[in-house]
Structure 1
Amino acid sequence: MTDEMIVRPGAPADAPTILRLLDDAVVWLVARGRTGQWGTRPASADPRQVAQADEWATGDGLWLAVIGDRPVGALVVGSASAYVPAATEPELYVNLLITDRAYAGRRIGGRLLAHAADLARAQGVSLLRVDCYAGDDGALVRWYERQGFTATEKFTVERPGREPWPGQVLARRLT
């Protein structure tokens, strides 16, 4: 297996890859006591998340980071979710960014965000936005800020029977 990473378009057959990456991330987060972001249950056991993975895989916004023959990250771009404050100008929105923690330190997430910026520029769009979990110690928000994003609007997603989910929208201006 080579260490060279490529980014390729996703396909319907990649839905299980998205679920594997999400499941692995949940295990990693739970092991660190960080259950507020995605809970404790595997995404592959949640019919809603399985349907979301299928939707992403059959859409045209899925991109996978691959090292050798192993997908090590996923990026989904498109329109902002309904719970996010609307942009006041054309944008490209990062709906999902996830990486394989076994490959931590290889800048996979940063490289996928650079790919998203290239996609936005190719569409003539100068605004790239993303939202993320803003709870716990805010480490995820700070990670996006290190990638060139600026925190903008905070929001909360109410979840019946569960704690509300604190979110943060971040924006990056593209030149």
Structure 2
Amino acid sequence: MTDQQTLTIRPGGSDDAATVLRLLDVATAWLAARGRTGQWGTEPASSDPRRIAQADAWATGGGLYLAMLGDAVVGALVVGDATDYVPPAVEPELYVNLLVTDRAYGGHGIGARLLAYAEELARDRGLGLLRVDCYGGDDRALVGFYEGCGFTATEPFTVERPGRQPWPGQVLERRLS
């Protein structure tokens, strides 16, 4: 079992886009193997031009942080501005744009530690609100994960996708004291 104290977090950079894609590919395959294809589908992110461009933007945008165990990247966090498809916040916030962990380390608290780091970043910036959105379909297990990390579900939303099923999402927030 991974000891959270051995986990370090470092800023990401332009050389880390492929690492983010690898983490997304592993997570997508893990979800698909469990019949949970509603979140990210079945195709690897590394073969999707839109996801490749998104990973490049995250890696060069200044908001990427990587969880490390020794030299191994075991998770990624991207923070910044809220995405266009969610209701806007009514106060300044930090928004979690991506949270993904290496499924080989599932259950070891890496995602929770990355969210705690996002909270630290928000506090350091003098912000009192941290928000995230996630897949809100199926059994809402991902919503439950975020609730277990101290977030409260707020607005549900739907992303319409031409030629595909609509994507049910959920915004969650965490107030910082």
Paired residue for 1:138, among 137, 140, 145?
140
Give the number of equivalent residue pairs: 174
| Alignment RMSD | 0.9
- Output the TM-score relative to the length of structure 1: 0.98
- Note the 1:112-131 alignment, pairs <5 A: 112-131=114-133
Paired amino acid for 1:171: E
Q: Residues 85-108 of structure 1: CA distance to partner in whole angstroms, max 9, x if unpaired?
A: 000000000000000010112100
- Identity across the alignment (%): 71
- Alignment correspondent of 1:170: 172
Q: Deviations over 1:23-56 (max 9, x none)?
A: 0001000000000000010000000000000000
- 1:84 aligns with 86
What corresponds to 2:8 in structure 1?
6
Distance in 1 between residues matched to 2:159 and 2:7, nearest whole Å: 35
Name the counterpart of 2:161: 159
Residues 62-81 of structure 1: per-residue CA shift (max 9 Å, x gap):
00000010100000000000
Aligned with residue 51 of structure 2, among 44, 49, 52: 49
- Report what 1:39 is aligned to: 41
Q: How far, CA to CA, are the matches of 2:40 and 2:108 in structure 1?
A: 23
Q: Which stretches of structure 1, 4 residues or longer, exceed 4 Å deviation after superposition?
A: none
Alpha-carbon distance between aligned partners in 1 of 2:28 and 2:157, rounded to the nearest angstrom: 22
How far 1:20 sits from its partner (Å)?
0.2
Q: Which runs of 5+ in 2 are unaligned?
A: none
**CA separation in 2, counterparts of 1:170 and 1:35?**
21
Query: Which residue is equivalent to 1:101?
Result: 103
State TM-score, norm by structure 2: 0.97
DSSP-derived class of the 2:162 partner: coil
